[in-house]
Amino acid sequence: MSFFSALFYDKVMKYTEEACLIEWRRTLLENVDGNVLEIGAGTGASLGLYPKKASLALYLAEPDQHMRMQLEQKLHSQSNIKATVLSCSTEHIESDDDFFDYVFVSLVCCSVKDVDASLQEIKRVLKPTGRFIFLEHVAAEPGSSCYHWQQRLNFMWRHVADNCHLNRTTEQSIIDAGFVIEDIQYEKMRKMIAVVQPTIRGIARIAP
Ligand SMILES: C[S@@+](CC[C@H](N)C(=O)[O-])C[C@H]1O[C@@H](n2cnc3c(N)ncnc32)[C@H](O)[C@@H]1O
């Protein structure tokens, strides 16, 4: 991301955050505890939504230097939130195996270079009893007009939106990676252009 994209990211997302994302993030994160990794943490949109528990150790990974700078500034200004900031990507997570109780991604799987490698890494760093929490925008229902436009616009969108894909089938990727989805909700992201509206959010565990 460019310096300016990172600088204005929160302003661009403000209305969508207020319309739905804050509420979705809060609900998804309300029970997290132990070692928690948010990967692709961006500017820290979820920062204030983690439970305030002494037993929660928060790790925030963000590979993009400009987004990470915004994240670190937000952390400084919210001195009640303690977190360890990492610069690794989903494809190469700086962690021992079986370390995290929870891994959280939001609006990240659309942009990673390699979805399958990312999900394998998330599996590697999760404890066998851990949970993977996701909130992602995804491909619309095949045959719908939204799906048609996602296919048509994807190439251009990827180039203007930092490798963000409009048409990823992330739910299937999560299952193919060896997770069992325990809970999933499908909802349109409000105050967002139509091709980015379809979302999934939920919780998965590693298949036995
Ligand atoms: C659309 S932003 C979302 C930021 C934040 N998660 C949120 O919900 O506001 C996508 C983020 O994913 C990050 N990202 C892209 N590729 C990544 C990768 N391979 N590993 C980790 N993060 C990645 C970007 O740097 C960016 O911060």
- pLDDT more than 70, % of the chain: 100
Residue 4: which pLDDT band, with cuts at 50, 70 and 90? confident
- Segment 151-176 shows an average pLDDT of 96
* DSSP β-ladder status, 126-137 and 83-86: unpaired
Q: Work out which ligand 1 atom sits closest to the CA atom of 62.
A: 22
Please, which residues bridge with residue 59 across strands? 37, 84
pLDDT value of position 1: 79
Q: Can you give the pLDDT at residue 33?
A: 97
DSSP-derived pairing of the beta strands 100-106 and 126-137:
parallel
| pLDDT on residue 148 | 98
Please state, rounded to an integer, the average pLDDT across all residues of the chain.
96
Q: Is the CB of 112 under 6 A from ligand 1?
A: yes
- Evaluated on CA atoms 89, 104, 182, 125, the torsion sign reads positive
Which pLDDT score, from 0 to 100, does residue 2 have?
86
Q: Give yes or no for residue 40 CB within 6 A of ligand 1.
A: yes
What is the position in ligand 1's atom list of the atom closest to the CA of 113?
A: 19
Asked whether 89 lines ligand 1 (CB < 6 A), one says yes
In this structure, which residue's CA is closest to atom 22 in ligand 1?
A: 40
Q: How far is the CA of 41 from the centre of ligand 1 (A)?
A: 6
Query: With contact defined as beta carbons under 8 Å apart, do 97 and 161 qualify?
Result: no
The residues facing 132 across adjacent strands are 103, 204
- State the DSSP string of 83-129: EEEE--BTTB--S-TT-EEEEEEES-TTT-S-HHHHHHHHHHHEEEE
Is the confidence at residue 80, as pLDDT, over 90? no
Cα 86 → chain centroid: 15
Which is the closest atom of ligand 1 to the Cα of 67?
Answer: 27
Q: Could you read off the pLDDT of 5-59 as tens digits, one per residue?
A: 899 999 999 999 999 999 999 999 999 999 999 999 999 999 999 999 999 999 9
Confirm if 75 and 139 have CB atoms less than 8 A apart: no
Mutate to test the pocket of ligand 1, among 108, 122, 136 (most ligand atoms within 8 A of CB): 108
Phi-psi map region of 42: left, alpha, beta (phi>0 left; psi -120 to 50 alpha): left
β-bridge mates for residue 173, sequence order: none
38: Cβ below 6 Å to ligand 1? no
- Distance from Cα 34 to the centre of ligand 1, integer Å: 23
Q: What is the largest CA-CA distance in the chain?
A: 48
Tell me if the domain spanning 3-206 has CATH number 3.40.50.150. yes
For residues 75-103, average pLDDT: 95
Residue-range domain boundaries for the chain: 3-206
Over residues 193-200, mean pLDDT: 98
pLDDT of residue 185: 98
Residue with CA at minimum distance from ligand 1 atom 8: 106
The residues pairing with 135 across neighbouring beta strands, listed in sequence order, are 106, 201
Query: Of the candidates 158, 121, 98, which has an alpha carbon nearest to the alpha carbon of residue 39?
Result: 121
Q: Which residue reads 């909700």 in tokens? A: 185
